[in-house]
């Protein structure tokens, strides 16, 4: 079965040529690895994605999950590939040896997961929150909690769930009403309900371990009064054996636009006052503990947007090459030609290629920064990489999910009427992708995080460090005459980003904070546009230098340079119009008042 999921050549270009990830192997943390082991892992991941995950994607979408009498069943074809994934050690591959992992860099881990999410988003989605639940327990749990829960989660024998959302709260986490009542033995009785819980119940695993936010009786309202708890679906005895059911009931599952093979559950805790939870982490620090899951998930969700976009782009590319319709542009020859030769279709294909490759570079770079941060032994070096991670994570999540969906929509357009039909996969990619801009913190929340917190971190030092890194790339690329115009264009966009940042953050925020924050989402989009220009320019410089030095892979490198030039010359300049719009200071949004009516 052909790989129409991920461009593995581009994956390896980003890893080995752009990021030069082999240098990580010189550190103590990653010293057990080499390019040979990385290649073996990537090859194995591709085979698992193509041979085991991809074949069940359509069937899983068609069958969906079922719920009856409180019992959830996932599509039957999911079971065998899930077991194969877990038995292969993929779930905790990036963890340390002492918890059963292989100590692989996160960058390699995400490169593998991109292929798997592209192959079957619904199936691999069960593993993401399972890993996050295990990570929370590893970081904050007691030795007993680690013994009871962490191992089975990392092995995939237990599933994991992240429980924040409630009907009245939504994204307003501080409005959580789930209660925790102290028991004499140090445990807690949990009472409340949660909605939109991915993998909240499943027959893939023998148990589900929920990490849940609740408020201990008597604690203050708001986010600061929340505490985190471990609540298993089935109680776990001290020796690790399963005990009795824990008064956790799935009251139903959502019937969704996409990700139909992923069980999105409504959960009720303690309807019979018999739901027992164990506190994890300090009291009233639940949001801090939960952010261990949320931060990991936000980067992962950005990668999901990339994965669906990548698959959609490759399907559209193949279709455009094979679909014959219309004669050659400017020719009187009536013979039909592949539609990729038509200028509008070719522009759509190149647009998708540029965004897909730019998003891949962004996601992998964020993971690379995390790896460099973990490997660093010098405090200043660690802080630098931490700055990059902090500023880029909301962009990674929001920009890649928005643009990933846009790529899916263009892929449908390239297919024409066929793209709207189920027999072609692009309509499913679009449906599965849409949720990525909504869950794990909506993209509006990511924009507020970037504008309200991240660009102000350390008195602006975090943002300054990243902008300095981008400026260095522009300066280096400008030394090559073939890339100088592109470097100048990225440089202008970078200067524009600085101006609009200063205007919104330092000027408008002091005069009209409401209006300033209303521009948060367009600001993140502009920031993402410029970041992609920087990353694609960086790729063009690497490709140009490699082509000059080696003379091999000439077509691949030439296409890399051409893709960067297309984005920087035909797409990026639109950012100046967006910036100019912001700088005009239009106040119509404020003047409209709070009630917007239809008439």
Asked if residue 119 lies in contact with residue 57, where contact means CB atoms within 8 angstroms, the answer is: yes
pLDDT cut 90: percent of the chain above it: 88
Averaged pLDDT, 541-560: 83
Please tell me the predicted confidence (pLDDT) of residue 1: 41
243-259 pLDDT tens trace: 999 999 999 999 999 99
User: Tokens 């990525």 correspond to what residue?
Assistant: 436
Cβ burial of 445 (10 Å; 0-12, 13-18, 19+) is: middle
d(CA 520, CA 484): 32
pLDDT band at 168 (very low <50, low <70, confident <90, very high): confident
- Of 161-165, 167-171, 461-465, give the lowest mean pLDDT range: 167-171
Report residue 19's pLDDT band, with 50, 70 and 90 as the boundaries: very high
**pLDDT tens digits, 408-462:** 999 999 999 999 999 999 999 999 999 999 998 899 999 999 999 999 999 999 9
Question: What pLDDT is stored for residue 548 in this prediction?
Answer: 65
* DSSP string computed for 452-466: HTGGGGGGGHHHHHH
Per-residue pLDDT of 454-513, as tens digits, reads 999 999 999 999 999 999 999 999 999 999 999 999 999 999 999 999 999 999 999 999
pLDDT tens digits, 22-74: 999 999 999 999 999 999 999 999 999 999 999 999 999 999 999 999 899 99
DSSP one-letter string for 520-550:
HHHHHHHHHHHHHHHHHHHHHHHHHHHHHHH
pLDDT at 523 > cutoff 80 = yes
Place of tokens 């070096």: 381
For all residues of the chain together, what is the average pLDDT?
Answer: 94
pLDDT at 4: 84
Q: Give the integer Cα–Cα distance in Å for 314 and 330.
A: 28
CA distance 269 to 246: 9
For the cut 70, the answer to whether the pLDDT of residue 599 exceeds it is: no
Residue range 202-244, pLDDT digits in tens: 999 999 999 999 999 999 999 999 999 999 999 999 899 999 9
Residue 271 pLDDT class (50, 70, 90 cuts): very high
DSSP 277: E
Residue 448 DSSP SS3: helix
Q: Is residue 2's pLDDT more than 60? A: no
Domain extent listing, the chain? 459-586
CB-count burial class (<10 Å; 0-12, 13-18, 19+) for 294 = middle
- Indicate if the pLDDT at residue 534 is higher than 70: yes
Looking at residue 286, the DSSP 8-state letter turns out to be H
pLDDT level of residue 169 (50, 70, 90 thresholds) = confident
Q: Which residues are catalytic?
A: 440
Both tokens assigned to 411: 């892929």
**pLDDT of 511:** 93
């Amino acid at each position: 079965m052909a790989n129409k999921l991920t461009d593995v050549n581009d994956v390896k270009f980003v890893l080995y040529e752009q990021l030069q990830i082999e240098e990580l192997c010189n550190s103590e943390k990653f010293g057990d690895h080499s390019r040979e082991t990385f290649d073996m892992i990537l090859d194995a991941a591709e085979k698992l994605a193509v041979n085991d995950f991809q074949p069940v994607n359509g069937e899983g979408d068609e069958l969906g999950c079922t719920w009856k009498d409180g019992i959830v069943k996932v599509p039957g074809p999911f079971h065998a590939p899930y077991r194969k994934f877990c038995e292969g050690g993929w779930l905790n591959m990036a963890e340390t040896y002492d918890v059963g992992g292989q100590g692989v860099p996160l960058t390699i881990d995400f490169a593998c997961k991109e292929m798997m999410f592209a192959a079957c988003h619904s199936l691999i989605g069960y593993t993401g929150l399972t890993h996050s639940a295990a990570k929370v327990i590893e970081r904050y749990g007691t030795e007993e909690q680690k013994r009871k829960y962490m191992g089975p989660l990392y092995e995939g024998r237990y599933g994991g769930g992240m429980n924040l959302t409630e009907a009245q709260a939504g994204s307003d986490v501080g409005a959580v009403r789930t209660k925790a009542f102290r028991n004499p033995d140090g445990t807690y009785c949990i009472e409340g309900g949660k909605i939109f819980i991915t993998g909240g119940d499943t027959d893939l695993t023998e148990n589900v371990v929920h990490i849940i936010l609740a408020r201990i009786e008597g604690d203050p309202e708001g986010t600061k009064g929340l505490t985190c708890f471990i609540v298993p679906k089935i109680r776990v005895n001290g020796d690790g054996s399963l005990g009795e059911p824990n008064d956790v009931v799935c009251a139903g599952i959502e019937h969704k636009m996409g990700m139909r093979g992923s069980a999105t559950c409504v959960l009720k805790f303690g309807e019979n006052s018999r739901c027992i939870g164990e506190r994890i982490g300090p009291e009233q620090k639940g949001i801090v503990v939960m952010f261990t899951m949320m931060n990991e998930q936000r980067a992962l969700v950005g990668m999901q947007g990339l994965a669906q976009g990548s698959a959609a782009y490759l399907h559209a590319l193949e279709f455009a090459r094979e679909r014959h319709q219309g004669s050659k542009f400017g020719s009187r020859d009536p013979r039909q030609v592949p539609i990729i030769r038509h200028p509008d279709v070719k522009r759509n294909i190149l647009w998708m290629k540029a965004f897909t490759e730019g998003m891949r570079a962004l996601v992998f770079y964020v993971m690379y920064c995390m790896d460099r941060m973990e490997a660093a032994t010098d405090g200043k070096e660690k802080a630098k990489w931490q700055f990059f991670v902090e500023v880029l994570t909301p962009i990674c999540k929001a920009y890649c999910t928005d643009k990933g969906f846009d790529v899916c929509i263009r892929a449908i357009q390239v297919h024409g009427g066929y793209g709207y039909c189920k027999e072609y996969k692009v309509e499913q990619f679009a449906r599965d992708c849409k949720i990525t801009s909504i869950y794990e913190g909506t993209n509006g929340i990511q924009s507020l995080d970037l504008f309200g917190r991240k660009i102000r971190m350390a008195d602006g030092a975090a943002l300054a460090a990243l902008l300095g890194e981008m400026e260095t790339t522009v300066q280096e690329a400008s030394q090559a005459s073939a890339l100088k115009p592109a470097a100048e264009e990225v440089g202008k966009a970078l200067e524009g980003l600085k101006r609009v940042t200063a205007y919104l953050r330092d000027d408008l925020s002091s005069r009209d904070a409401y209006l300033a924050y209303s521009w948060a989402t367009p600001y993140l989009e502009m920031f993402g546009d410029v970041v992609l220009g920087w990353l694609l320019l960086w790729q063009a410089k690497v490709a140009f230098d490699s082509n000059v030095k080696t003379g091999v892979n000439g077509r691949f490198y030439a296409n890399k340079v051409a893709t960067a030039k297309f984005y920087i010359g035909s797409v990026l300049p639109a950012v100046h119009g967006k910036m100019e719009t912001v700088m005009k200071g239009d106040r119509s949004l404020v003047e409209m008042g709070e009630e917007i009516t239809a008439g």
